[in-house]
Structure 1
């Protein structure tokens, strides 16, 4: 995957001695703090100059990729934040993409889930082995997501297997809690399972614009039903601005939703999103993420090659070690701009 940026700058034959600096300054003026800017050139010697310029100007070099004889450097307008998530050790959280098919077609889905997406199920037997090995590795939390996990007929067994290893949070749109799915819900252990249900706005208009007509009402009913069944429910909003975030926070305040039961996050420029926060791997504190295709760096890009760590899931200890090694290496070379991007 090519990392999406706010501005693309083709350096042509220019370097810092022949006019590139003025082009870079003009490009940065089109960016806001935190935006990504790409510089492409056929001259690999430009790399050390860009790296030195970033250090001098307190900007950040976050990615380098080569293709067909040309190099593309991705820069962040601004430097790394001080808080890089040291209170969340790598490996303490484990994400499982149970599937990728979904009953909704959200226009900013970071993994391109939809009713037409292939299921690509992780499968119960693999989940059981993952959960067993995770318990030995000190995993504190397991997150089960998709797609929509309740599209799977064996989702109850999948959640139960995870709950035997660690407390589980299930990310869902809350729209399928009826019939056999309601019976599945009722069979889960309340003390080990939390539901995180997506609700993007205080009223249906904006939520439904992104997720489909009638989805807000059905999500709200799902929230009420899960609560009535005795489950802890977290509400998660995906928003496009600070104003939307503040509006949703006021909505949650009015309903006395605790801070620990709310997740308000910005749209990530991944998957089907056409706007949002552009994220490179070095922007993200890793959270080990497993799909049917392998082990990924973070759930926000769990089908993107730039976040793939290994196609091999097992042994799980080696997958965790591979992520830690990569993270330590980037920290050592100070080429990361790591921050917590909360998916839950």
Structure 2
């Protein structure tokens, strides 16, 4: 799979016109997919634009990726839309398509057995500034990062809407959420939902942040990053002295009555190191179900790790102050962007559900549509 360096756009008609001209014919909207294939972001762009068309509306799609000439007709067949025109600028592309929207789109999501149902869980980036600059941070957070803080009023609207459409879990992440000056109000806005705050636990011991911690409802879970049983690996990845401060934060949170979940992020899963970590967590009385060991994703600051795409990354809709994304590890990847604003949440969830429905329908039909290589 390739990622695109092109500027990916949805083109609307100019004022006074009701269509956008293309070599394949006039359309109401045009998606320019650059050299993205369907598995690396084009599917999201198409799905997002299709939701804004009425029945019988025409979407134009331009692509320089040869696999789209096979995958796009597969997609249209799965969803029920019609490709009513196509044009090749040359034998090597780019290619233009005009797709007519059907009255009803594919909506059945086939269960994979382990996936969290779309619409049950929502992630929110409270902010992007952080007291650490971890070498694999997927969000490129650091002390020098722009704060990009999520407004409390926007959070209230998002959580209210999310709950109304059946949402259950909210994960508040960052950056370091305890650097958000209104974290308490942000967490309170999600009252009635299962709430988890992700933190490095290093700045909880005193001052205003200690006050915020103590004021949080004890139904809130704290998920703390701890990468190793001893300081060596954790400090190498996150910064000198971070392990001992994280350990102190874990002990403080537990002593105050919070449920503490531990998440370790590893480039390579060393069996001995993992066993040692579990022993350390045993000594801290962290329950087995509250231990998460995850690989580094090649996103953000990480120049190595697992390459992620729509094809191998289960959707976990994620809001930031300036948009919505397929998954929290992909908020620096423009190809994983769902929307340009965090609201309305129903639109964000709808785009993800439509995309997942097509992926699952393709799998159920035994088709190799939206391949990633």
Question: Structure 2 length as normaliser, TM-score?
Answer: 0.67
Residues matched between the structures, number: 274
CA contact (8 A) 1:3 1:280 kept: no
Counterpart-to-counterpart distance in 1, 2:319 and 2:221: 20
The structure having more radius of gyration, on CA atoms, is 2
Pair 1:280 & 2:302 matched = no
Indicate which of 44, 58, 72 corresponds to 2:66: 44
Matches within 5 A, 1:171-190: 171-177=198-204, 178-190=206-218
SS of 2:341's partner is: coil
Counterpart-to-counterpart distance in 2, 1:125 and 1:140: 20
Counterpart-to-counterpart distance in 1, 2:154 and 2:2: 30
> Alpha carbons of 1:70 and 1:179: their partners in 2 closer, same or farther (altered >3 Å)?
farther
Pair 1:295 & 2:317 matched = no
Deviation (angstroms), 1:255: 4.2
Matches within 5 A, 1:104-119: 104-119=132-147
> Alpha carbons of 1:125 and 1:45: their partners in 2 closer, same or farther (altered >3 Å)?
closer
Matches within 5 A, 1:223-234: 223-234=250-261
Q: For residue 176 of structure 2, what is the aligned residue in structure 1?
A: 148
Counterpart-to-counterpart distance in 2, 1:331 and 1:226: 41
Indicate which of 336, 340, 343 corresponds to 1:314: 343
Pair 1:122 & 2:150 matched = yes
C-alpha deviations, 1:204-229, integer Å up to 9, x for none?
Answer: 11111111111001100000011111
Pair 1:138 & 2:171 matched = no
Deviation (angstroms), 1:86: 4.4
Matches within 5 A, 1:197-236: 197-236=224-263
CA contact (8 A) 1:131 1:165 kept: no
241-250 vs 130-139, greater mean Cα deviation: 241-250
Runs of 4+ aligned residues of structure 1 deviating over 2 Å after TM superposition are: 1-4, 42-49, 83-87, 244-257, 312-315, 330-338
> Alpha carbons of 1:87 and 1:307: their partners in 2 closer, same or farther (altered >3 Å)?
closer
Indicate which of 74, 94, 103 corresponds to 2:131: 103
> Alpha carbons of 1:84 and 1:336: their partners in 2 closer, same or farther (altered >3 Å)?
farther
Structure 2 unpaired stretches of 5+: 5-39, 41-63, 72-91, 95-110, 364-368
SS of 2:122's partner is: strand
254-263 vs 120-129, greater mean Cα deviation: 254-263
Question: Structure 1 length as normaliser, TM-score?
Answer: 0.73
CA contact (8 A) 1:283 1:337 kept: no
Counterpart-to-counterpart distance in 2, 1:124 and 1:256: 34
C-alpha deviations, 1:82-125, integer Å up to 9, x for none?
Answer: x9454510011100001111110100001111111111111111
Deviation (angstroms), 1:247: 3.7
Deviation (angstroms), 1:241: 1.9
Q: For residue 296 of structure 2, what is the aligned residue in structure 1?
A: 267
CA contact (8 A) 1:95 1:287 kept: yes
Q: For residue 74 of structure 1, what is the aligned residue in structure 2?
A: none
Q: For residue 7 of structure 1, what is the aligned residue in structure 2?
A: none
Indicate which of 188, 193, 213 corresponds to 1:166: 193
Q: For residue 94 of structure 1, what is the aligned residue in structure 2?
A: 122
Q: For residue 281 of structure 2, what is the aligned residue in structure 1?
A: 252
